[in-house]
Amino acid sequence: MPWYGRHLQRATVSSTAPARLLPKKSKTDKTTSSSRSRQGVSKIQTQEFIQQKFADYYRQNLNSIQPPTSIEKREFAFLLFKEKTMLRHKGFKDAEEFRNLLLYVVPSDVYYSSAYYEKPEEEMDSKDWIGADLVFDIDADHIPTPCNKQHDTWTCKNCGASGRGAKSEACPKCAGQKFSNVSWPCPVCLGTAKEETIKLIDVLDKDFGLSTKEMNLAFSGHRGYHVHIETEPIRTLDAMARKEIVDFILGIGLESSLYDIEKSEGPKLDDYGWKGRIARGTYELLLTATQEQLEKADLKKRTSSQIIQQRDKILESWKGKGPWKMLKGMGPNSWEKMIKQAIERQSVKIDTVVTTDVHRLIRLANTLHGETGFLKIEVPIHEIEGFDPFKDAVAFKSGMVAVDVSNAPQFRLGDNVYGPYSNQKIELPTATAMLLLCKGAAKIVEEPMHVQ
């Protein structure tokens, strides 16, 4: 028995889960010695260790895991540790039945449908869709940040070529299009995701008239945030209606009359909707942009220089009619270029597929994320500014674990900074070790280390 097995108790359920809920056994379920050899003993032991820690957490915190509203109308899905198989089309009559299966299966990830169904356990064509919540996913993977070149890596599945940062459309070596990616959460990318989330909440509140009491905000457990709305009138919106919401949030298809400088005085800071957002985005650009950034916005060098030199006067003009007609050399075409930059700043970088999908599976709150060991945790909207995912979403708060780290960038967890690591055996706090293990950047040390 591995050393950690002597200290951890295997998870069991106090009552037998109903047969209809159990995973179907396949002919390949038995793990033979030859298959263990092929997969690597250390890899299997590491997976078993992670699953055991997840089992311990769920057993000790079971009552904190609340199923969603209308549980009997939701589909549930579980990503299993073994071969990363998805167990889908599960339905539950109550929380106890759900929790029993959670303890029985001990998955790496737990999901439920944003949709409501008459028959959630049937195949998709037979579920009888009733409606769906409105869900927004803001993920650092969809937001360009300079930090990804420091901590993210990709590997081509075809030729094995690898690199840092976001993967390209095709492998630069073989033109292959299938990659394995490892992305790490960091304060920069999660800070950017938080800023986008705050922008989204503002749009939903001011432009769609949704109260913050109707919004449920949660940290995803990895690199972003979810905003979930269950308001009754929203449930019956079809995919096209949701696409219109997405287009508005992204600033797609805005009519030029919103910022027609020739035919109007131009948008003002206190205007409603995108007209006001264009004004505020332009104000922000004029306030913070360097001459180089203005030139990158395709403005002429002389025009960019004039803006920098008259910045104070330009900003003061917003108290009146704004700067739209006060700058020489800034005609409608120049303003339109700047307005496009303003729209880009004011738009919210959401995952569009998540919002338009009326059958979407989303991660259940207070469950563990299989890529980090962090919790998906709900965040009161008025507390988002002070929320720190590297402290507040930590699930494993005690103990030390010995790991053999192959390669990992520097990262923060709690008040401490760890790494970078390369081919190093080290004993670390459990939460830190779990992050490395879940990322595939480390394996469990079979015998405990003796630290002097």
In whole angstroms, what is the distance from residue 201 CA to residue 384 CA? 11
Q: Which residue has the tokens 């379920």?
A: 29
C-alpha torsion 314→316→321→324, nearest 10: 10
Rounded to the nearest 5 percent, the helix, strand and coil shares of the chain are 40, 20, 40
Domains and CATH numbers, the chain: 137-216+240-251 (no CATH), 256-346 (1.10.8.160), 396-452 (3.40.5.50)
DSSP letter at 146 equals: T
Q: What is the pLDDT of residue 420?
A: 95
Q: Which one-letter amino acid corresponds to residue 265?
A: E
pLDDT of residue 100: 96
pTM of the model: 0.87
Q: pLDDT for 86-101, tens place per residue?
A: 999 999 999 999 999 9
Q: Give dist(CA 156, CA 273) in Å, integer.
A: 44
Residue 337: CB atoms within 10 Å: 15
- Please answer whether residues 361 and 68 qualify as being in contact, where contact means their C-beta atoms are separated by less than 8 angstroms: no
State the Cα–Cα distance between residues 175 and 169, nearest whole angstrom.
9
Which has the closest alpha carbon to 431: 369, 371, 373?
A: 373
Residue with tokens 């029993």: 100
Low-confidence ranges of the chain (pLDDT < 50): 1, 3-15, 27-39, 451-452
Residue 232 DSSP label: G
Per-residue model confidence (pLDDT) at position 24 = 63
**Digit-coded pLDDT (tens) for 411-435:** 999 999 999 999 999 999 999 999 9
Instruction: Please list, residue by residue across 151-162, b when 16 or more beta carbons sit within 10 angstroms of its beta carbon and e when fewer do.
Output: bbbbbbeeeeee
Cα–Cα distance for residue pair 365/8, rounded to 1 Å: 25
